[in-house]
Structure 1
Amino acid sequence: MSSCTLPPPVYPRGYRTSRGEHPTERFCSVTTPTALTLPQATGRFGDFTVIDVRTPGEYASGHVPGAHNIPLDRIDEAAPALGSAAARGPLLIVCASGARSAKGCERLAALGVEAATLEGGTSAWAAAGHPVERPAGARTPWPMDRQVRLAAGSLVALGFTAGLVWPPAHWLSGLIGAGLVFSATTNTCAMAALLSRLPRNRPPKDAVPLQETLRRLAGRGRPGE
């Protein structure tokens, strides 16, 4: 693999990878997520195995051509197959906006699998005029972050309104606020995990099963190879 010309991220003094290399010595040795802009990614798009970590419903509504769907909450299970794919070439993790893909990269780095995240995600990809793939007749669910905002806002409004009649209901608004603070502090989102289980966010009947996706990744980097 040729050396990477992308600007390297900043690392602590004396930082070394598990291979004993400095992170800038080799692109695929980076254990802290590398964020690529859309021009940087498209300039060498053919080099990447693309992993979409959105829910199956979001993925079916439109995804980067050739991307494999591995929901964020299944990353640990997929790590061995992703490690096999990463050994053959770089991984590019995408989501709707770049937030979940960054989390996925961080988790993979902790498991010893190196990957880059796409800034702006699928939204930036589509906004730039690049094509997206979607099954015929696929539904278009809202992005998960939008679903979370709707659910959290609705519960806060419900707690406030109900509290006008029954004051203890104000605790609901307070609990949701505390949950959002905890989510930001820990960089996790329990509400997103719950919403991902709703029928509209689950795989369509004709979706490729996760185990088949993992088999493909373990054996070859991209569909059709």
Structure 2
Amino acid sequence: MMPIATITPIDAKRAISAGATLVDIRDPDEHARERIPGAVNIPLARVGDVSTAAGPIIFHCKSGMRTGTAAQALADAAHGRPCYILEGGMDAWKKAGAATQIDHKQPITVMRQVQLVTGSLVLLGTVLSLTVAPAFMALPAFIGAGLMFAGATGWCGMATLLSTLPRNRRAPMA
């Protein structure tokens, strides 16, 4: 099958004005925090739901990395309709001077929360192992093992735990 073509932010704006559907494949928490106006949020895991979109489809993520990696799945989900990947994702969209909507009331993404908590625990365990007792090195080792497990399986226990916090259970904004 032919690879999915990319489209610049300027050309994407024109296509959207002409009736193309902009589909944000990021997770709902990412979309709720910042989004391109008018974009429909269909996370990559549910990209098959895109069949309800009308006209050409333009897929986007934050940087273009996820859409590039999933290009074949995105093309398959379009079922032969014209589809494109927004070159450089939302980052390029903003760099081109196009507007996004930011909802500062939404929490930062769960993955950023995981990075903050993980980094803090590794730093804490390292400092405690150097200043209090070497046994505290078990904390960064445990965190490292958890990260390796998350990378190998695609399931992150810390992300699951953080997503249950009341602030992260807010209903995403449309």
Q: Same fold (TM over 0.5)?
A: yes
Which letter does structure 1 place at the counterpart of 2:88?
G
Partner of 1:163: 129
Which letter does structure 2 place at the counterpart of 1:127?
K
For these two proteins, the number of residue pairs brought into alignment is 167
> Are residues 1:50 and 2:17 paired?
no
Shift of 1:160: 1.1
Please tell me whether the aligned partners of residues 29 and 110 of structure 2 are also in contact (alpha carbons under 8 angstroms).
no
> Are residues 1:132 and 2:95 paired?
no
Alignment equivalent of 2:42, drawn from 58, 70, 80: 70
Query: CA 1:171/1:192 → structure 2, altered by over 3 Å: closer, same or farther?
Result: closer
Structure 1 gap segments, 5+ residues each: 1-16, 18-22, 24-29, 209-225
How far apart in 1 are the matches of 2:121 and 2:73? 30
Secondary structure at the residue paired with 2:138? helix
Shift of 1:198: 4.3
Shift of 1:64: 0.9
Please tell me whether the aligned partners of residues 27 and 43 of structure 2 are also in contact (alpha carbons under 8 angstroms).
yes
How far apart in 1 are the matches of 2:34 and 2:122? 31
How far apart in 1 are the matches of 2:101 and 2:115? 26
Residues 108-130 of structure 1: per-residue CA shift (max 9 Å, x gap): 46xx3145433433233233321
Shift of 1:157: 0.8
**Percentage of pairs with the same residue:** 37
Alignment equivalent of 1:113, drawn from 70, 77, 97: 77
Shift of 1:67: 0.8
Shift of 1:173: 1.7
Which letter does structure 2 place at the counterpart of 1:70?
I
How far apart in 2 are the matches of 1:108 and 1:182? 27
Which letter does structure 1 place at the counterpart of 2:55?
G
Structure 2 gap segments, 5+ residues each: none
1:168-179 to 2 correspondence within 5 Å?
168-179=135-146
Partner of 1:151: 117
How far apart in 2 are the matches of 1:97 and 1:191? 25
How far apart in 1 are the matches of 2:68 and 2:167? 24
Query: CA 1:116/1:63 → structure 2, altered by over 3 Å: closer, same or farther?
Result: same
Please tell me whether the aligned partners of residues 61 and 140 of structure 1 are also in contact (alpha carbons under 8 angstroms).
yes
User: As a proportion of its length, which structure holds more strand?
Assistant: 2
Task: Give the ranges of 4+ consecutive aligned residues of structure 1 lying more than 6 Å apart after TM superposition.
Answer: none
Partner of 1:8: none
